């Protein structure tokens, strides 16, 4: 399939994969990626898979279904080889490999070479940003592999394709809960295959293929059970739902909750338009009818409406088939009138247009400064702050990477670890509940609060009010996070050195008393000396100047 390509097409294919690699080369932009690296480190260094929580003092010893242990270990190996840039590069390589597999499926389905590359770039563009250092990337890869092997099986009926699917399932079940999607894809091929056979369609599988596919589908759940968590990987998604609902974790919301974003509208539009075109093509005429692909399109298209975290699976699984519909419905009628050279020119223009903006926004740092609280974490380590710590749910993963094992965190993104009563306590502290003082001072004896305030500052006002009313001292402030320490002997030196008594993100610069402005300017000067390129602190200083 590659050998028969002309030199020109091989060059285009190489350029296409290079562009995909560049677009999948994404900086770390969410703290959860970092706890996956730490978990991988624990697995490799202890040569064991944890079954209880080692990272949080709140849930210390609670059951932890570490169903992603293998992917976490692999990600950590890439970190050991080349640091954070090694992880980013490894993820980008997987992204390019997945797009290559999608291309191979397109060619199996007879899609024009140029339409394949153009379609993958255009229909996959909005999901390239999902390629970050999290276990879900392996589910994208394996989804494409499942579809490729099943399409190969439809053509040649060779059992080796099914054996490879079984082996991938064994690996996948130890890497990410998305393996259940693999089982669903096999079911779609089996169910659709039975319908095709029943209606004696041109796309029908013979009885031997259906029997082998049935045996594979029956055996896959038992193969998936060969993991350290056994049956619990099947129930994982249901176990974490109560915690997700209580915490309001946005990535588990339906795509319909994100319609205020232009990207969501574009994604939905392309999904509906091309999905309906695919269904129409595979149902409209008997010679094209294929219930396997109709089942696949319908099943995969439901996923984003269940949770927006599933949006990456639609392009990975369905691009070849919707492009086939586009090819057969539109381009097959005109491609004989278009010189292949013209297609090549169009592809070259698209590759250039796609690659140019990315090169201007290519990550210069391994992390996103507006979402990863690296400055605050470095302050904790540099000044040797001692806990117990209270942190927000979203920050826990990054703090695990930076502080464990010397310090344990309060909470993190592993929702299944935290019982309902622990989550209630977290929300009570966060929201200024009636038992705030009891939890902070008596039960957990907290010493400092680490708060990333940029995401939802209004929600944090009750907590900030309680901290400042109880004379907790603000000792760190940057464009993303603040740190408040308890005013006691343990933190005496930190307070003396860094306390901000007059300025802060929750203190209105325009309302400062005139007598306090001199001290406020002195604190801002010290801050600007410690916090480089801080837009928020500079803006605060300008506001303070306006109020004079």
Q: Please give, one letter per residue, the 3-state secondary structure of 388-427.
A: CEEECHHHHHHHHHHHCCCCCECCCCCHHHCCHHHHHHHH
Amino acid 454: pLDDT = 84
Amino acid 335: pLDDT = 61
Amino acid 343: pLDDT = 66
Whether the Cβ atoms of residue 120 and residue 102 lie closer than 8 Å to each other? yes
With 0-12 / 13-18 / 19 or more C-beta atoms within 10 angstroms meaning exposed / middle / buried, residue 42 is buried
| 1: its two tokens | 């399939």
**Rounded to an integer, what distance in angstroms lies between the CA atom of residue 14 and that of residue 271?**
27
Place of tokens 């325009």: 510
488 phi-psi bin (left φ>0, alpha ψ -120 to 50, beta other): beta
With 0-12 / 13-18 / 19 or more C-beta atoms within 10 angstroms meaning exposed / middle / buried, residue 210 is middle
Amino acid 370: pLDDT = 82
Q: Where are the domains of the chain?
A: 7-30+65-360, 374-499, 506-548
Q: Residue 510 CA to chain centroid, in angstroms?
A: 40
For the chain, residues with pLDDT lower than 50 are none
Amino acid 338: pLDDT = 61
* Backbone phi and psi for residue 456, each to the nearest 5 degrees, phi listed first: -150, 70
**Rounded to an integer, what distance in angstroms lies between the CA atom of residue 346 and that of residue 119?**
12
**Rounded to an integer, what distance in angstroms lies between the CA atom of residue 41 and that of residue 504?**
37
Whether the Cβ atoms of residue 142 and residue 182 lie closer than 8 Å to each other? yes
The per-residue DSSP string of 260-280 comes to TSHHHHHHHHHHHHHHHHHHH
Q: 374-499: what fold?
A: D-Maltodextrin-Binding Protein; domain 2 (3.40.190)
| Nearest Cα to Cα of residue 418 among 35, 72, 53, 134 | 53
Tell me the three-class secondary structure of 203-251, residue by residue. Answer: CCCCHHHHHHHHHHHHHHHHHHCCCCCCCHHHHHHHHHHHHHHHHCCHH
The per-residue DSSP string of 147-206 comes to HHHHHHHHHH--HHHHHHHHHHHHHHTTT-TTHHHHHHHHHHHHHHHHHHHHTT-TTPPP
Helix (H, G, I), strand (E, B) or coil at 431: coil
Amino acid 352: pLDDT = 76
**Rounded to an integer, what distance in angstroms lies between the CA atom of residue 114 and that of residue 307?**
33
Amino acid 193: pLDDT = 96
């Amino acid at each position: 399939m590659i050998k028969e390509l002309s030199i020109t097409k091989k060059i285009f294919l190489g350029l296409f994969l290079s562009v995909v690699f560049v677009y999948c080369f994404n900086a770390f932009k969410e703290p959860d990626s970092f706890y996956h690296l730490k978990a991988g480190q624990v697995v490799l260094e202890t040569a064991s898979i944890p079954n209880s929580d080692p990272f949080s003092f709140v849930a210390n010893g609670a059951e932890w279904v570490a169903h992603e242990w293998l992917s976490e270990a692999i990600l950590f190996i890439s970190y050991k080889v080349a640091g954070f840039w090694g992880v980013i590069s490894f993820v980008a390589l997987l992204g390019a490999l997945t797009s290559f597999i999608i291309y191979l499926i397109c060619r199996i389905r007879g899609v024009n070479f140029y339409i394949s590359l153009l379609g993958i770039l255009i229909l996959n563009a909005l999901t390239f940003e999902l390629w970050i250092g999290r276990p879900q990337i392996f589910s994208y890869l394996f989804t494409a592999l499942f579809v490729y092997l099943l399409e190969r099986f439809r053509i040649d009926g060779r059992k080796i394709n099914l054996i490879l699917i079984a082996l991938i399932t064994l690996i996948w079940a130890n890497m990410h809960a998305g393996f259940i999607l693999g089982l669903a894809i096999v079911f779609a091929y089996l169910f659709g295959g039975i319908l095709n056979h029943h209606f004696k369609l041109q796309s029908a599988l013979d009885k031997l293929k259906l029997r082998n596919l049935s045996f594979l589908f029956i055996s896959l759940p038992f193969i998936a059970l060969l993991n350290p968590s056994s049956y619990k990987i099947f129930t994982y998604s249901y176990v974490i739902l109560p915690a997700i609902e209580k915490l309001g974790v946005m990535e588990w919301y339906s795509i319909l909750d994100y319609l205020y974003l232009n990207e969501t509208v574009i994604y939905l539009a392309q999904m509906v338009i091309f999905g309906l075109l695919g269904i129409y093509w595979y149902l409209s005429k008997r010679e094209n009818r294929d219930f396997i692909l109709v089942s696949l399109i319908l099943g995969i298209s439901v996923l984003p409406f269940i949770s927006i975290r599933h949006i990456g699976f639609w392009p990975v699984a369905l691009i070849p088939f919707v492009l086939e519909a586009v090819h057969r419905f539109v381009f097959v009628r005109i491609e004989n009138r278009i010189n292949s050279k013209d297609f090549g020119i169009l592809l070259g223009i698209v590759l250039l247009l796609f690659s140019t903006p990315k090169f201007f926004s290519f990550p210069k740092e391994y992390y996103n400064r507006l979402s990863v609280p690296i400055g605050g974490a470095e302050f904790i380590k540099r000044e040797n702050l001692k806990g117990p710590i209270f942190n927000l749910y979203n920050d826990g993963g990054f703090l695990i990477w930076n502080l464990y094992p010397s310090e344990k965190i309060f909470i993190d993104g592993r929702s299944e670890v935290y019982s309902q009563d622990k989550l209630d306590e977290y929300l009570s502290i966060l929201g200024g509940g009636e038992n705030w003082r009891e939890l902070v001072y008596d039960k957990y004896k907290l010493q400092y609060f680490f708060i990333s305030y940029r995401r939802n500052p209004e929600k944090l006002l009750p907590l900030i009010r309680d901290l400042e009313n109880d004379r907790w001292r603000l000792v760190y402030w940057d464009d993303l996070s603040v740190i408040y320490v308890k005013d006691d002997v343990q933190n005496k030196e930190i307070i003396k050195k860094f306390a901000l008594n007059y300025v802060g993100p929750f203190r209105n610069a325009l309302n400062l008393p005139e007598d306090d402005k001199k001290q406020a300017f002195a604190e801002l000067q010290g801050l600007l000396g410690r916090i480089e390129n801080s837009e928020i602190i500079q803006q605060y200083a300008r506001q303070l100047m306006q109020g004079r």
